[in-house]
Chains A and B, each alone.
Chain A
Amino acid sequence: MASSGGGFLSRGSSGNNANMRGLVQFIADLRNARARELEEKRINKELANIRQKFKDGNLSGYHKKKYVCKLLYIYILGWNVDFGHLEAVNLISANKYSEKQIGYLAMTLFLHEQHELLHLVVNSIRKDLTDHNELFNCLALHAIANVGGREMGEALSGEVHRLLISPTSKAFVKKKAALTLLRLYRKHPDIVQPQWAERIISLMDDADMGVALSVTSLVMALAQDQPDQYKGSYVKAASRMKRILVDGEYAQDYLYYKVPCPWIQVKLLRLLQYYPPSDDLHVRELIRESLQKILNLALEMPKNVQQNNAQNAVLFEAINLIIHLDTEQALMKQISHRLGKFIQSRETNVRYLGLEAMTHLAARAETLDPIKQHQTIIIGSLKDRDISVRRKGLDLLYSMCDQTNAQPIVGELLQYLQNADFAIREEMVLKIAILTEKYATDIQWYVDISLRLIAMAGDHVSDEVWHRVIQIVTNNEELQVYAAQNILQYVKADHCHETLVKIGGYILGEFGHLIAEDKGCSPIEQFLALQGKLQGCSSGTRAIILSCFIKFVNLFPEIKSRLMFVFRAYSHTLDSELQQRACEYLALASLPTDDLLRTVCDEMPPFPERQSALLSRLHQKHANTSDKRTWVVGGKDANANEKDFSLAKNPGLKRAFSNANGTTTNGSNGTVHGTATNGTNGHAKVANDLDGLDMTDAGPSEPKTLKAPNLASAAHLSPGWEVGFNRLMLKGEGILYEDGQIQVGVRSEYRGQAACVVLYTSNKAPATITSFTTTMDLDPAEKDNLSYEVRDLPDSSIDPGAQAQQMIMFEAKKVFDKSPTMRISYLAGALQAVTIKLPVMIHKFMDPAELSADDFFKRWKQIGGAPREAQRIFGVKGGKGGDYEFNDSFIRKTVEGFRWGILDGVDPNKKNFVGASVLHTSEGGKFGCLLRLEPNYTTQMIRLTLRATDESVPPVLIKMMEDRLAVGVSTLPEVFEAPTRRDISDAFSNVLVT
């Protein structure tokens, strides 16, 4: 045989005997085996050999590796190689990379997370995690990601996290660490500590796309369970999306057939679907821009199949997001047009995904009209040559069904059922049954379809289906006669599916007397029809027929003798269950009086309302997954209960409905579908019943009780926030916050009830800071009083000496008390974050007013005293004679700073201050505010009185003014203090070598 000698010489990795010829020979031997027995023989021989070698011990690392490789190969062929696990696992503590690698490979293939050998390797893995060799780190991470369970997670999650966040970690280590952490989190959620959230989110900005991709995957999983804690990821995803798509900000080598990193786009789009649409106009605009860009890009003709694929992957995820947002009318219109084209595409994949996306649309859209336009094509897809497409078509038809199109759709489905694939028949039957029940508008239709369905697809009808038919017929009086007539016709036929016989046995037994007068339905004919089927049925069905006959004894005494004959015959049958039944019935019918018989055979009471077993069966079939689905197949009703799918609300909630008692009527659904059969509660309840969608286990099994700390809130203000805040209380611009690394400046402008605040953040450090993030927060109680809108997001990285700015618009709706806060976080090696209070207070929305003395006193009196007046008497902090005092200029400056117009010469006492101002709010309107301040400089006391046209104003204002005035002004002349020794050493600490 010609060997590729060139390859041998040029490709040998390390010259020495690292090529493991024995292994190659072994594989070649197996390939040359001409029959399976020979192969088996060769393998058994090798296994014996390896067993012996391991037993003898003293193998060199190389030989161990070779034998483990052989075992791996044998294992891949499907053999059990348990005996070699220990040797294989021991290889991971080897020092040579190639040996270690095989050890890890064997470990990830052979062992599973509960394997007892894993206890032995935790320490070796820890050693490799902390090793300086990054390749070792990667091997260890990869191993944990494959077999890590709870125990390993508890022991090693700290190290994994360290590798993820350490500024010195290389990108290829970081991305693996992120996914390893994800694996551990899935195994045991407590492993990821709440305080890691901010740091992990900030990594979504990582310049390396691979890191960003893996971290996004991690965040996606975390955000599903703790949406609050990870809500910062929403804005991050939106802005990254926009940077990739609109700004073209990505490494060129991440272009995959001209599409910039489709995977990360898909992930980001999906992450956005886990949150309810943002309220923030700016973020919405970012998302809208990106989505539009995707739609536009998709219009370009792709050059090859790969590009087409990648483009569509992004496009379909974008469509899903648009459907999820449900607010973007313009985009929505575009996609419903395009979806119509997709489902007719020549490409099978596109048809498949088009139908799936439409099913999603049906699950969410307000109206089904855009979908119904394509009804013929969709029905046509049931005849597609590809089964995958046919299934999707079925899903869509099921979802798009409503009262108007139920009859044609169900008709089509029934027709298709006859030659449908075996694999999907049962599901089809279930779906048809559900639709029939849900949208039945006349009784005949329901009975006709249900019975036809069972007649056609008998073998694929699960018990739930025929049980349900009986329940509905029993509970709806007007169905009973028609159902009895029809089932009798079926049972009379020569060939009748056993399931129909079961229904016949039950229904005729209960309602046979209702049709006994009809032609062809006399008691004896009913009896003969059922009796004819007795022979060919299973014993369960026979039992039903026997029970029917005892009911006949009660209903139709005229045929009693023939019934008794049957009982007698069956009292000798070999089937003990049937025999007992027959004997008991015989005894019951032979009693001297028929009192007991009547009681026993009394009409069955209506069935108690319960969850539709059909739906629960259907949904049982839907696998639940680690990532939650954001919707399920089945139209809007099935998705009505949003909390299952969106994370907006209680994430710990596992099921949408408590079905403990089906007595609560769901208003909307009850009435909509209840119209079907007026006058009975049956259908209304049925509709309610159908709501009993059981999405059990859609979420993590343990509800998270831990409340996420909102780090942006006022409760987490960073030390040092007050200095700047106080400084800017009476000024429009200045420095709000400063530390060793950043400086935050503010410029603001107030016009009426509107304000525009611009924040300038400069980087003082010598290195670029990245993942710069700001998060606004406002006390929930103030949300109605002050609204804000973030106009733009600051750049996520700031070079040394550079500045990032962000504009925020505020609107005072009513009087508010608490100022908004902002969390600023960034990466400068480690994660740094501060929370500061923004200098936006109610008095900033006031405008000084001019009033004459007459006007002032007139209004002062008009407003009157409490509750529209507030008064405080207070002294300077530190008391009289301290370092601080009140004086005329201080008071004047402060009062003016609070935006009062000081009215000189109004008050008879020259020392007193009198002021007027107008406060602007959008919802409360304008408030007139008046002030009188009476200082007593000798006692250093102030009496401050405020009156306003609305009682909400004075208490808020007076508190702020008191706090501010009470500070007073320093009595000491400003002295220059020489720097202390310590100051000097601090200042020079980075130059001096001590």
Chain B
Amino acid sequence: MINAVLVFNNAGQPRLTKFYTQLETSVQQRLISEIFALVSHRPTGSCNFLPLPPLLASSGTSSSSSPHEHNDIPSLVTYRHYATLYFIIISTATESPLALIDLIQVYVEALDRLFENVCELDLIFNFETLHACLAEIIVGGVVVETQLERVVEGVKSQGRVAKRPVNESRGVALGGMGGNFGWAGR
């Protein structure tokens, strides 16, 4: 199953954090920063998969595992880098890694449709749409829909694809987003 979907920018600031196995806020934050450290140091062209370091894996489950439950211990990090953003899926080893890469692609394409040329600012100001879109693709850690049109329709049918007025200069779209933020503000 998919344990978490994370999106953060080149500075490591989280734009979306969705955990399908519940964790403490502090553990989540630690996980995010550790994964960022792992991913951001990889040169472009490296493969998109990383085994989750065991230390991280064990900390990731410490808080929620009880003897009765199935252990959904994550062991694979699949990521993709688009312009200023990293999209990351943490999953168990039983997911097909390439399919996860495709999944990220579908998610990004869906966001692009929803926001018409999506950029990082859209994600910041419309985080609930971000979540709604993710909910159309993944339910409870399992892929539910992969067809772009349907995902987009699903979100639109909920009637809130409104772009909030973004009260500052718009960044360039994800395709080639430069983003000149002074102190890379939130």
Which residues of A come within 8 Å of B, CB atoms?
Answer: 1-5, 7-8, 11-14, 18-20, 23-25, 27-28, 30-35, 39, 69, 72-73, 75-80, 97-98, 101-102, 105, 109, 112-113, 135, 141-142, 145-148, 172, 175-176, 179-180, 182-183, 186-187, 209-210, 213-214, 217, 253-254, 256, 261-263, 266, 270, 306, 309-310, 312-313, 316-317, 348-349, 351-353, 385-389, 391, 423, 621-629, 697, 700-702
Contact = CB atoms under 8 A, between A and B. Distances in A.
B174 interface: no
Contacts of B165: 3-5, 7-8, 19, 24
Nearest to B162: A13
Contact of A7 (B28, B166, B182): B166
Given A27-B125, A182-B142, A183-B141, A423 B53 contact: yes
Contacts of B47: 348-349, 351-352, 386, 388-389
30 contacts: A13-B159, A18-B162, A19-B162, A20-B164, A23-B164, A27-B125, A28-B167, A31-B181, A31-B186, A32-B168, A75-B25, A97-B158, A98-B159, A101-B160, A102-B128, A172-B145, A172-B154, A213-B145, A254-B146, A313-B99, A316-B98, A353-B97, A386-B46, A621-B54, A625-B92, A625-B93, A626-B1, A627-B94, A628-B94, A629-B94
A18 B183 CA distance: 31
Residue of B28, B45, B94, B98 ringed by the most chain A CB atoms within 10 A: B98
Nearest to B145: A210
A180 B143 CA distance: 11
B131 interface: yes
Interface string B128-147: 10011001000111111111
Contacts of B162: 11-14, 18-19
Interface string B92-122: 1110111101110110000000000000000
A626 B70 contact: yes
B185 A32 contact: yes
Contacts of B147: 209-210, 253-254, 256, 261
B49 to A, nearest CB: 5
Contacts of B131: 105, 109
Contacts of B167: 1, 3, 24-25, 28
B29 A78 contact: yes
A213 B169 contact: no
Interface residues of B, number: 82
A14 B14 CA distance: 29
Contacts of B163: 7, 11
B140 A312 contact: no
Given A27-B125, A306-B102, A310-B98, A39 B186 contact: yes
Nearest to A307: B102
Given A388-B49, A626-B1, A701-B67, A27 B124 contact: yes
Contacts of B28: 78
Contact of A97 (B96, B101, B159): B159
Nearest to A697: B71
A623 B185 contact: no
Contacts of A147: 22
Report, nearest first, the 5 A-B pairs whose CB atoms are least far apart: A145-B140, A112-B22, A313-B98, A13-B162, A623-B73
A623 B74 contact: yes
A317 B102 CA distance: 14
Given A388-B47, A388-B51, A309 B98 contact: yes
A349 B144 contact: no
Interface in B1-27: 1, 14, 16-18, 20, 22, 25
Contacts of A213: 143-146
Contacts of B48: 348-349
Given A142-B135, A627-B92, A175 B14 contact: no
Given A32-B168, A626-B71, 12 more contacts: A24-B167, A97-B159, A105-B128, A256-B146, A385-B46, A386-B46, A387-B50, A388-B49, A388-B50, A623-B71, A626-B94, A627-B1
B17 A101 contact: no
Residue of A80, A113, A179 ringed by the most chain B CB atoms within 10 A: A179
A266 B167 CA distance: 44
B64 A112 contact: yes
Contacts of B73: 623-625
A3 B18 CA distance: 30
A309 B102 contact: yes
Contacts of B1: 625-627
B22 to A, nearest CB: 3
A256 B16 CA distance: 25
B157 interface: yes
Contacts of B161: 11, 13
A423 B56 CA distance: 12
B179 to A, nearest CB: 12
Contacts of A34: 182-183, 185
A108 B145 CA distance: 20
A428 B65 CA distance: 28
Given A3-B166, A105-B131, A388-B50, A701 B185 contact: no
Contact of A309 (B16, B20, B101): B101
Contacts of A270: 94, 96
